[in-house]
């Protein structure tokens, strides 16, 4: 699809903040969608995180970056972090968020998705969607002239992965060369983490029960990206082997939203994949524990690990806001209003 950024949009981004990655990302991403984290190049992911760190350090600098910009959030599923991180994020940059609860009426049921897009784009500057079907997001993007952001679908959770790797950069200085292990369901969160790990040069190991491995299309894409960035992706079924020497151990619920009817079947299958003290002992001494939250305490992770000294889960949650602010700045051309970019 042709770029949504107009020539005028691109011209407003003045290349004075001397960071080539951020400037290149700002120029290309203005007006674009983020349905998948792979919609961003490796350089653009690095740039988004670099901007995220600056937004976190100097929030005042960005106070008016999105003055009067309107964001709509249409969510088919529950949310605490994603919703509040987007709302606080845009509010603290001068914009406004409107939340539309779609939990009892999925998008496309009352009105065609394309028609929703053609209405909403007349009023708002960005559309943020949380859906069951990933196609709902890509269809909205295909029919909207304003950027569409994936705030979680059954297939991907790109905003989560941005915040998670921002958190790893904070903790370790860089994600390149880190040994990152994901244990659990090969789900939406796992998919975006695999892609982002590859984009940032992290060696990613994924351990899932048989039958719950990540999607092959994502595996192939992550390996392709990783090859260019000198890192590897391993898929295992043994959690003990997977965490051996890991710098970060990540898990998520084994029953994602929309899969509740499989709870009874999944519980015993995922029991050996629980992250507990014994499993963390196998990781590197400096290892951190990560979880996107919400967690099912004492199911996929024990209280001792979740609340223990290695856990950085609330840093991840905080960074949802900073990383999403950076993403909004790039997609909405907001750097044009930031003094240090003049």
| Cα 189 to Cα 86, 166, 172, 182, 331, distances in angstroms | 18, 15, 21, 10, 22
* Residue 252 annotated to the active site: yes
* Residue 231 annotated to the active site: no
User: Would you say 20 or 101 has its CB closer to ligand CP?
Assistant: 101
Q: CA 163, CA 166: separation in Å to the nearest integer?
A: 5
CB of 43 to ligand NVA, least distance (A): 27
Which of 252, 301, 317, 323 is the binder for ligand NVA (CB under 6 A)? 252
Q: CA-based Rg of the chain, rounded to a whole angstrom?
A: 19
Three-state SS annotation for 294-342 = CCCECCCECHHHHCCCCECHHHHHHHHHHHHHHHHHHHCCHHHHCHHHC
- Residue 131's binding partner among ligand CP, ligand NVA, none (Cβ under 5 to 8 angstroms by kind) is none
Which parts of this chain interact with ligand CP (CB under 6 A)? 79-82, 152, 160, 292-294
* Residue 157 annotated to the active site: yes
Given the rule CB under 6 A, which of 20-28, 172-180, 183-191, 282-290 is the region that contacts ligand NVA? 183-191
* Residue 160 annotated to the active site: yes
* Residue 320 annotated to the active site: yes
Catalytic residue of the set 28, 46, 81, 130: 130
Which of 36, 167, 188, 311 is the binder for ligand NVA (CB under 6 A)? 188
User: Would you say 83 or 221 has its CB closer to ligand NVA?
Assistant: 83
191-220 burial: b if 16+ Cβ within 10 Å, else e: bbbbbbbbbbbbbbbbbbbeebbbbeebbe
Encoding tokens for residue 53? 């760190």
The residues annotated with a catalytic role in the active site are: 130, 157, 160, 252, 292, 320
Contact residues for ligand NVA, defined by CB under 6 A: 152, 187-189, 252-253, 256-257, 292
């Amino acid at each position: 699809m042709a770029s949504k950024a107009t020539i005028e949009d691109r011209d407003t981004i003045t290349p004075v903040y001397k960071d080539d990655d951020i400037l290149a990302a700002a120029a290309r991403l203005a007006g674009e969608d983020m349905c998948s984290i792979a919609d961003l190049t490796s350089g653009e992911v690095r740039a988004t995180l670099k901007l995220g760190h600056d937004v976190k350090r100097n929030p005042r600098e960005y106070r008016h970056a999105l003055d009067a910009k309107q964001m709509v959030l249409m969510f088919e599923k529950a949310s605490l972090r994603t919703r509040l991180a987007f709302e606080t994020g845009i509010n603290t940059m001068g914009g406004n968020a409107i939340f539309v609860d779609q939990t009892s009426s999925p998008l496309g049921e009352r009105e065609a998705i394309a028609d929703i897009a053609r209405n909403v784009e007349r009023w708002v500057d960005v559309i943020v969607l949380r859906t069951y079907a990933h196609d709902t997001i890509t269809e909205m993007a295909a029919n909207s002239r304003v950027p569409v952001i994936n705030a979680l679908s059954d297939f991907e959770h790109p905003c989560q992965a941005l915040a998670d790797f921002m958190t790893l950069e904070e903790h370790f200085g860089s994600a390149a060369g880190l040994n990152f292990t994901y244990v659990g369901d090969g789900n939406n969160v796992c998919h975006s983490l695999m892609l982002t790990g590859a984009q940032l040069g992290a060696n990613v190991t994924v351990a899932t029960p048989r039958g719950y491995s990540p999607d092959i299309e994502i595996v192939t894409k992550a390996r392709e990206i990783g090859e260019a960035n000198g890192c590897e992706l391993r898929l295992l079924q043994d959690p003990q082997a997977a965490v051996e020497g890991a710098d970060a151990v990540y898990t998520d619920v084994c029953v994602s939203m929309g899969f509740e009817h499989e709870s009874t079947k999944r519980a015993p299958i995922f029991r050996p994949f629980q992250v507990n003290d014994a499993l963390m002992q196998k990781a590197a001494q400096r290892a951190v524990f990560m979880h996107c939250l919400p967690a099912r305490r004492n199911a996929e992770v024990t209280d001792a690990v979740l609340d223990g000294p290695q856990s950085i889960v609330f840093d991840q949650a905080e960074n949802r806001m900073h990383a999403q602010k950076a993403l909004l700045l790039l997609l909405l051309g907001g750097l044009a209003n930031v003094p240090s970019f003049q």
